[in-house]
Structure 1
């Protein structure tokens, strides 16, 4: 792999976990329109309490999050290999959380089909819809994300919708084949799905490109002691013959000086 490909593959795996940060809760008003049936607020509030405090939500994520990272597609198979990808995350940029937490063995008691779909940023978690595992393909998640993005002013200006746009279920089927698909809400054309032909997230690819550009810009600075000293606000802490190390914290690109252990956030990830 090239370096951008490697970083994009890593982000495709790592972004399936939510970095434990304190996030305020936003309940999108469309949640009630797109949720079929009663909402189990007791279980949801348990999730929100952890999120607000910045605790880990790992137990509410799929147990496959860590074990199914990068799975190469066998040569004899055609099409997209979804075993290494999270469709909801890559296509819609939303995480799905189980309402029932997993135990230490990764198992959940009772009915674990109910899912909470959320849009997470670095400081907020927005509740988009409560659904289940059928929501990926039955069109309900497609419809919810289309309206959510339109409400967030993420729609294409100057483009009129089709007279007879495809229904949401058919649009959801196209996603399985790696298609970028637009949706329509109140006459607005919405880029509901931002997906590459390989099933990977365009946002991951863009961040990988930004990481490579950042590395290219910083490496000459780190090779020059005078320039590296000037690059940091705190002066006098860089040791002679500094040893620099790049690494990721979730999707954040960080730089550490190994002798002192000091670490700085160089390029933050969206979440």
Structure 2
């Protein structure tokens, strides 16, 4: 399993993912779930993945092939698409096609081929946009009313996002909210694990900064401890 979350804010976009993949308690591995495609100053696209690893890896391989194709067009490459909406359509079509291909091969073994993606970014002159792409290829878009999207094991990290996330919050507060959301998920589900990948896309700059948070990271550990203490303190102060 995995947990990925994206926030669409007035100041930019923040993306966070874990890296754990498991096929049983004795088969746990680390795989990147966050992928960035950049033409600095022109466009930046972030893709987060969850679900069947074979489906997501194959879909991303086809997306990269389309980008590298010498005959690529705005109808085939996410780096040439005229809008972020078109980017979401291309990613959705690729994901749906791959899922159908693999599903046909895996039908007899009844192995799940479900996968989903978060697609976010901006092209020069366009607006920042973020989409959740479903296994069937259709998608929904983040809005002012719901400025965050989640995929994977999302239920443990959703309550804090529901309570604090707003489009006008600062990038630093957004980063804190996302890390606390991830911390709640890490504590409640062993199928989600470190290291974590964090990316920030600043509005109108069309570039991304990326960092990896390793297990035992002192800042993350300190934040996790402070959050636990704050929750226990709040619990004791509530009178019923």
Instruction: Normalising by structure 2, report the TM-score.
Output: 0.25
Hey, which of these two has a bigger chunk of strand by percent? 2
The structure having more radius of gyration, on CA atoms, is 1
Q: Relative contact order (C-alpha < 8 Å, sep 6+): which is higher?
A: 2
Give the structure-1-normalised TM-score. Answer: 0.23
